Amino acid sequence: MSKPKDPIKEFEDKMIKEGKSLSFIKRCKRRLRDVVEVSKTMWIVRGRASLGDWYSMYIVVYDENRGKFRCSCQSLERHYSGRRRKSMCTHVGAVILYSMVSKSDSD
């Protein structure tokens, strides 16, 4: 019997391919326990001041039409910085990690 694939390792490989830094990956891993699944396409990620969060929770939604994740921090941050964030935030990263881990659990 072959050893099951490590979802954390798979996540790291995926993020590195997308050009994410190791500190990005580290923050996503720290957020993993803060992810709460609301529905198949919605998650709540608790905010942590130690990770630079302004709010106590963030809502991540999967937009099925666009095939993309959206996070509530991306609209909130426009108040603070004039430019829009195009890149993925660590809340979305944590949700992706969460879904990879829970998928491998059910295999």
CB of 101 to Zn ion, least distance (A): 19
Segment 53 to 72, residues that bind Zn ion, using CB under 5 A: 71
Residues whose CB is less than 8 angstroms from the CB of residue 29 and which lie 6 or more positions away in sequence, other chains included: 8, 94, 97
Q: Which is nearer to Zn ion, 32 or 104 (CB)?
A: 32
| Interaction of residue 91 with Zn ion, rule CB under 5 A | yes
| Interaction of residue 89 with Zn ion, rule CB under 5 A | yes
| Interaction of residue 20 with Zn ion, rule CB under 5 A | no
**CB neighbour class for 75 (10 Å; exposed up to 12, middle 13-18, buried from 19):** exposed
